[in-house]
Amino acid sequence: MEFDEKFGYSSINSFTKSLLDLPYQEKNNFISNNKKTIIAIQVHVFYEDLFEKILERINLIPFKYDLYISTTSEEKKIKIEKYLINSNHNYYEIRIFENKGRDVYPFINQMRIFYKYYKYICHLHTKKSLHKKLLGLNWSEYIYQNLIGSRKIISNIICDFEENDKLGFIFPENYYEIIKGIKDFDNSNLALHAINKKFMNYILESIFHRYKIGDKLIFPVGNMFWAKTKAIYQIFNIKLKFPEELSQINTTIMHAIERIWLYLVKLNGYLYKQIIYNY
- Domain coordinates of the chain in residue numbers? 5-175+220-248+264-275
Q: Would you state the pLDDT for residue 250?
A: 55
pLDDT at 119: 97
**pLDDT at res. 201:** 85
Total length of the chain:
279
Q: Which one, of 265, 197, 252, lies nearest residue 225 by Cα?
A: 265
Give pLDDT, residue 184: 54
CA distances from 266 to 53, 133, 231, 256, 259 (A): 33, 34, 8, 16, 13
**Residue 159 confidence class, pLDDT cut points 50, 70, 90:** very high
Gap between the Cα atoms of 187 and 29, Å rounded: 46
The pLDDT, as a whole number, for residue 273 is 96
Tell me: the pLDDT tens digits for 231-264?
999 999 988 877 676 555 555 777 888 889 999 9
Between CA 41 and CA 122 the distance in angstroms is 5
Higher pLDDT, 97 or 219: 97
* DSSP assignment of 242-279: -PBPS---SSSHHHHHHHHHHHHHHHTT-EEEEE----
Between the ranges 68-77, 94-103, 251-260, where is the mean pLDDT highest? 68-77
Eight-class DSSP state of 7? G
Is the model's pLDDT at 18 over the cut of 60?
Answer: no
pLDDT, the chain, mean: 82
Residue 115, CA distances (Å) to 41, 81, 188 in order: 10, 22, 37
Residue pLDDT, tens place only, 123-134: 999 987 544 555
Answer yes or no: is pLDDT of 4 > 50: no
Most confident of 13-22, 66-75, 244-253: 66-75
| CB contact at 8 A, 158 and 31 | yes
Nearest-angstrom CA–CA distance, 161 and 63: 14
Integer Cα distance of 37 and 194 in angstroms: 41
Q: What is the pLDDT of residue 22?
A: 45
Contact 146, 176 (CB under 8 A): no
Long-range contacts of 130-135 (CB under 8 A, 24+ apart): 130/247, 131/247, 131/249, 135/177, 135/178
Q: What confidence score (pLDDT) does residue 247 get? A: 59
pTM here is: 0.83
Share of the chain above pLDDT 90, in %: 52
C-alpha span between 140 and 47 (Å, rounded) = 12
* Predicted pLDDT at 253: 78
Distance of alpha carbon 1 from alpha carbon 8, whole angstroms: 15
pLDDT of 265 strictly over 70: yes
pLDDT-wise least confident of 23-27, 98-102, 138-142, 222-226: 23-27
Nearest to 96 by CA among 114, 75, 71: 71
CATH 1.10.1060 applies to domain 5-175+220-248+264-275: no
Query: Which carries the bigger pLDDT value, residue 138 or residue 266?
Result: 266
Sheet arrangement for strand 91-96: 91-96, 66-71, 39-44, 120-125, 225-228, 167-172, 271-275
